[in-house]
């Protein structure tokens, strides 16, 4: 009887459906656990949209106002959920409008699958209406891409796409599907991809490198950990905390590593990089063992490589072999998922406190507090500062909000001063530095974490690059909170012009529209404030709202973000003013 039952189950598994390629795409998405996608329809992708109409009870499609907005929303969703974000677009300009989001996801290791429509197979290469070579265009900015010209290819290609996007070091994948392939019928079956020939996403940790790394850590007098997003992507937050606490090692973070460890943890010493904290930047060039965990030694972190941590033994934990020795030579390379490798090294590390070393970090912090932080967060000047706005959001949200920041001065301030108690709370464009990222990314983040408060921190410049996504918020009633810190300038460029180009403010002054009226045009509650006395109550009102809320805060026009490591300088040359 049991054998008969098993045979029936096996036979059911092998059943095929005679369906169109467009419907097959839907079944593939559902099989991969996708329930939410972002996109914009058009001629070459219309068969898929026709099927989406039929499956709207199982698969929610969010109509963004621009294809770039769809990619950033998919990124925001992926970053807070850990799932693969999905974006859909038509051929030609629809597909090319995805490229910025693809590039952003590629450099920031965000799992995303983009599906584009393409002209029919027989028209490929004929310069047909809205035909572009999206495979050629997107090859440099995707982890993998593929063009499908037959319906029967769809299941295998999409299964592979999701596997590649989410496995190992995640990244974006693009699948381009011709219109004829969407119309054709075939016998559909689906099997999840479990591996790809010559692709090894999870390198097996070498026991010898684990032992060598542990020996270096145990012998260190002045060790320093710098952790990046690899900790979050590898779900290694607990292992990182355990290592830091057991070995008593000061730990600093890169922008994308922010929130992997409680920002108020006593061993968390702040942010490294161009606008990072004074102590971890300066002491990078004084530590004797530098432990990099899931970070890639970006130039904004290292400054001049010629002087970066030259006195230290370097241990590099990373899942991607391509990152080892790419920028900084590692004395010990530990390949593998951070959760696995940190778990393996933890028993081999000796308990320690490094109290004298920690005292040096505290002394440096006091210098920064007196010269920078105190004036940022508790200013005596009349005009509001960006930092005090972030601090007020910290207090009002109990350090529990997801902060989605755009790119510019406000981003650096948000990353320096936002406080987090939970991982996956910081969403920003790191490596590509994409202005316009925050508004659509906040939509995706909110849809991925409806139980959490999501606050977008945006400058007046970047906001206008994707301001049309207010329409997406309006149509979907997405209760995201938007804070525009308005200094009437492209602030970061203006700062560089002031410091390095003798204050020649070429094309950085912004003549802005009435942002409040624009938000109200989308039926979003909106307010503008410019005085300190209104800040606390307005932030509380915003966070108390059950609906979307837009807040414009008029801040000091010519404030600069310090500390600052000048471009190409050593991290030891960090400026406090």
Residues with a catalytic annotation lie at 67, 129-130, 179, 492
Residue ranges in 464-551 assigned as alpha helix (H): 470-476, 491-500, 515-521, 535-544
Cβ contact 109:171 at 8 Å: yes
Question: What kind and span of H or E run contains 567?
Answer: none
Q: Which two tokens stand for residue 49?
A: 């949209």
Identify any residues that bridge with 514 across adjacent strands, giving them in sequence order: none
Residues 6+ apart with CB under 8 A from 330: 292, 314, 315, 316, 324
| Beta strands 402-405; 144-148: pairing state | unpaired
Residues 6+ apart with CB under 8 A from 178: 44, 117, 118, 119, 120, 121, 124, 147, 148, 149
Residue 270, by phi and psi: left (phi above 0), alpha (psi -120 to 50) or beta?
Answer: left
Determine if the peptide bond prior to 563 is cis (ω within 30°): yes
Secondary structure of residue 332 in the 3-state scheme: strand
Buried-exposed string 380-393: b where 16+ CB fall within 10 A, e elsewhere:
eeeebbbbbbbbbb
Q: Let me know the angle formed at the C-alpha of 502 by 499 and 506, rounded to the nearest 5 degrees.
A: 95
Cβ contact 515:554 at 8 Å: no
HSE of 163 in the Cβ direction (CA atoms, 13 Å)? 17
Cβ contact 39:87 at 8 Å: yes
Give the other-Cβ count within 10 Å of 207's Cβ: 9
- Dist CA 46 CA 13 (whole Å): 30
Residues 6+ apart with CB under 8 A from 395: none
- Which regions of 254-321 does DSSP assign to beta strands (E)? 268-271, 289-293, 313-318
Identify any residues that bridge with 62 across adjacent strands, giving them in sequence order: 38
Q: Which two tokens stand for residue 127?
A: 């310069």
Cβ contact 384:410 at 8 Å: no
Buried-exposed string 262-299: b where 16+ CB fall within 10 A, e elsewhere:
bbeeebbbbbbbbbbbbbbbbbbbebbbbbbbbbbbbe
- Dist CA 354 CA 217 (whole Å): 12
């Amino acid at each position: 009887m049991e054998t008969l039952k098993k045979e029936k189950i096996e036979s059911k598994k092998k059943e095929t459906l005679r369906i169109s390629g467009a419907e097959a795409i839907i079944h593939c998405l559902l099989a991969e656990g996708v329930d939410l996608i972002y996109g914009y329809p058009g001629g070459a992708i219309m068969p898929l949209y026709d099927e989406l109409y039929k499956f709207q009870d199982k698969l929610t499609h969010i109509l963004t106002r621009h294809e770039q907005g769809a990619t950033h929303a998919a990124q925001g969703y992926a970053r807070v959920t850990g799932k693969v974000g999905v974006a859909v677009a038509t051929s030609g300009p629809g597909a090319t409008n995805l490229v910025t989001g693809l590039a952003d996801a590629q450099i920031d290791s965000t799992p995303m699958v983009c599906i584009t429509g393409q002209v029919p197979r027989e028209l490929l290469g004929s310069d047909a209406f809205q035909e572009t070579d999206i495979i050629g265009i997107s090859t440099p900015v995707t982890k993998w891409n593929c063009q499908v010209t037959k319906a029967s290819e769809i299941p295998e290609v999409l299964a592979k796409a999701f596997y590649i996007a989410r496995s190992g070091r995640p990244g974006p994948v693009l699948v381009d599907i011709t219109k004829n392939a969407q119309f054709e019928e075939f016998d559909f079956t689906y099997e999840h991809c479990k591996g790809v020939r010559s692709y090894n996403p999870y390198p097996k940790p070498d026991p010898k490198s684990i032992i060598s790394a542990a020996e270096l850590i145990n012998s260190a007098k002045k060790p320093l950990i710098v952790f990046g997003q690899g900790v979050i992507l590898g779900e290694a937050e607990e292992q990182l905390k355990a290592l830091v606490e057991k070995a008593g090692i000061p730990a600093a973070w890169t922008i994308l590593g922010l929130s992997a460890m409680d920002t108020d943890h006593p061993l968390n010493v702040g942010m490294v990089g161009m606008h990072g904290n004074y102590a971890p930047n300066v002491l990078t060039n004084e530590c004797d063992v530098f432990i990099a965990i899931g970070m890639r030694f970006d130039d904004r972190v290292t400054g001049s490589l010629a002087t970066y941590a030259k006195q230290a033994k370097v241990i590099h934990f990373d899942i991607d072999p391509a990152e080892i020795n790419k920028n900084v030579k590692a004395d010990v390379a530990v390949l593998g998922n951070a959760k696995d490798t940190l778990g393996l090294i933890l028993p081999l590390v000796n308990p320690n406190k490094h109290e004298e070393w920690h005292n040096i970090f505290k002394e440096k912090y006091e210098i920064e507090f007196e010269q920078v932080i105190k004036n940022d967060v508790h200013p005596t000047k009349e005009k509001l500062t960006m930092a005090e706005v972030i601090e007020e959001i910290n207090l009002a949200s109990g350090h529990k909000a997801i902060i989605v920041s755009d790119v510019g001065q406000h981003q650096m301030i948000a990353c320096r001063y936002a406080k987090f108690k939970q991982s996956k709370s910081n969403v920003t464009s790191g490596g590509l530095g994409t202005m316009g990222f925050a508004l659509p990314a906040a939509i995706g983040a909110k849809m991925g974490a409806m139980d959490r408060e999501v606050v977008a921190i945006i400058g007046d410049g970047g906001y206008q690059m994707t301001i049309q996504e207010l329409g997406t918020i309006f149509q979907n009633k997405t209760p995201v909170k938007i804070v525009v810190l308005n200094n009437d300038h492209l602030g970061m460029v203006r700062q560089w012009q002031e410091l390095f180009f003798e204050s020649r403010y070429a094309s950085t002054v912004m003549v802005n529209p009435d942002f409040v009226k624009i938000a109200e045009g989308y039926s979003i509650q909106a307010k503008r404030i410019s005085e300190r006395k209104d800040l606390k109550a307005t932030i509380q009102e915003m966070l108390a709202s059950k609906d979307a809320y837009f807040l414009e805060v008029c801040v000091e026009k010519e404030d600069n973000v310090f500390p600052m490591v000048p471009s190409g300088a050593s991290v030891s040359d960090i400026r406090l003013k």
